[in-house]
Structure 1
Amino acid sequence: MFFLKIALRIQACVFGDYDNKETEYIDITFGIPKNGRWDLKQFVLSLIVNQHGIPLFMNTHSGNSSDKSTILEAINSLKSALSPESKVYYVADSSFYTDNNIKNIGKSFWISRVPATINEEKELLTANLNLKTLKSDERYSFYQTFVEYGGVKQKWVLLLSHKMKEKKR
């Protein structure tokens, strides 16, 4: 089994003037900065690492590119370059979880967090669920269900940390 973590949206903020003729592959421009520096232009790196944190693939994108569109591009680029012998799981944050990405990833295995903007996720969080305690670690309880989203059947797992629940109270 092989896990690939999609570490997308690594922003590089830069100083100075950039003429787009000098950077013909990407547009160094203003985007939505995670560091709060609205005065700096930026570009974005898509980075895929293996389960040991070793980088396998990197690509540059314009400073205002969307995670939701570039994440599938990165996965498909890596899939065309590698042909691993074992099963590959792509692990990505909630920006991956869009109707379009799920439809277009093909017969791949993936793990992602469902964003809070999905109605089914909101309903699941407010439902009165019968959570089961993890046998391996009693600090956590879980609930699993099967849903169809983006035309793809999926298993959703809700994980509850009892310590975090107490901390929030």
Structure 2
Amino acid sequence: MADTYNLYVAEGGLQNIDFTTPAETFPAGTSSGDLVGYGFEASKTYALVIRPAVDTLETPDISANANFSLTAGGEWTGLRPDPVTGLAAKIKAGGVIRLTWRHQIFNGATPDDFEINYGTTEYATGSSATVTYTGAGALYSKELTLSDGVTYWFSVVARDSGLDSTS
């Protein structure tokens, strides 16, 4: 069981987090923390990650993450859509990849659409496609024609008025 939790903070997405030095370390049993003083700026999005540690040895494969955005006035933009679940990829003939996923609404906003990001790097950057939201629990899919013999990374993000989900 963890005896501390390391908090990492970065502007932008998860790819910008420097996991070499935590912004703060909380003792086990802490259920909330004060984020005042981190220098959050208006009109920006931030990523936060919490990782458990035992005797300062961190467990990098178990973590929780969240993104949040601030308006130009410095106010929180509100709930984001919940992340997608069950993302799967199936290779078909001729460089075609079929992606499938589901979306449920638990505590988040109803998404307008899903942004599919894909590329040849771990953070799936480079290209994107969009699929329209049709209802909670629905099975969604998108076929993409890509180059044979190349490894691709994918992410699917539920969006509401341009705000990404936490996935």
Same fold (TM over 0.5): no
TM-score interval (norm. to shorter): under 0.3
Counting helix residues as a fraction of each chain, which structure ranks higher? 1
Higher relative contact order (CA 8 A, sep 6+): 2
TM-score, length-normalised on structure 2? Answer: 0.24
TM-score, length-normalised on structure 1? Answer: 0.24
Counting strand residues as a fraction of each chain, which structure ranks higher? 2
